[in-house]
């Protein structure tokens, strides 16, 4: 089976190197944070954001178990506050939108804050860097978020950013979708 989250990780692995800085804009259960922490190595840094303390606690436990907690700053804030915490260029930013798996499904990412988070991420990306956004249009707020992000990405300067939209076509229920936003080297 093809998983959108695996495609996102494969794309990030193409650009993220040891010693780089990276952001997990939605820590959730910590799997993308762990993935990023492994790639940046001991001299790199990952900034992981979440609005739910339970998500950060779960992420911390996963990182501790894998002996990688020291590579990560866990930040109890929304991704729209990214620029207040990250002050250096980053090679990759990963968003896995929607709600916390196993958590309260009424707490979801919202188009307004995600658009601000993406704008901050694109400012922080170094040339050659990549932002990935896994979208979940199968619920009402996720559908609104997808539409807002597609509109925003269609308006990005084509001389600075390349944008790819990927989705699985042969699924009955609306499957997750992926946006890749690459900042071109100058």
Which three-class secondary structure string do you get for 101-137? CCCCCCCECCHHHHHHHHHHHHHHEEEEEEEEEEECC
β-pairing, 21-24 vs 90-96, is parallel
Q: What is the pLDDT of residue 7?
A: 94
All domains in the chain, ordered by first residue: 4-183 (3.40.50.150)
114 in Cβ contact with 122 (< 8 Å): no
| Beta strand pairing call for 177-183 and 161-167 | antiparallel
pLDDT at residue 101, rounded to an integer: 60
- Residue-wise pLDDT for 89-128, tens only, equals 999 999 998 655 655 555 566 768 889 999 999 999 999 9
Identify whether the C-beta of residue 95 lies closer than 8 Å to the C-beta of residue 118. Answer: yes
């Amino acid at each position: 089976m093809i998983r959108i989250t695996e495609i996102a990780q494969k794309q990030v692995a193409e650009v993220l190197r040891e010693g780089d800085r990276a952001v997990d804009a939605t820590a959730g259960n910590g799997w993308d944070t762990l993935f990023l922490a492994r790639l940046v190595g001991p001299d790199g840094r990952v900034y992981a954001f979440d609005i739910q303390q339970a998500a950060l606690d779960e992420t911390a436990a996963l990182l501790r178990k894998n002996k990688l907690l020291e590579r990560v700053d866990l930040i109890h804030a929304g991704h729209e506050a990214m620029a207040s915490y990250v002050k250096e260029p980053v090679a990759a930013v990963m968003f896995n939108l929607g709600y916390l798996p196993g958590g309260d499904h009424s707490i979801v990412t919202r188009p307004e804050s995600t658009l601000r988070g993406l704008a901050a991420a694109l400012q922080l990306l170094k040339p050659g860097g990549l932002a990935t956004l896994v979208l979940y249009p199968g619920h009402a707020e996720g559908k609104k978020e997808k539409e807002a992000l597609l509109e925003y990405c269609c308006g990005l300067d084509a001389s600075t950013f390349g944008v790819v939209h990927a989705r699985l076509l042969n699924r009955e229920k609306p499957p997750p979708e992926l946006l890749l936003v690459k900042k071109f080297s100058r």
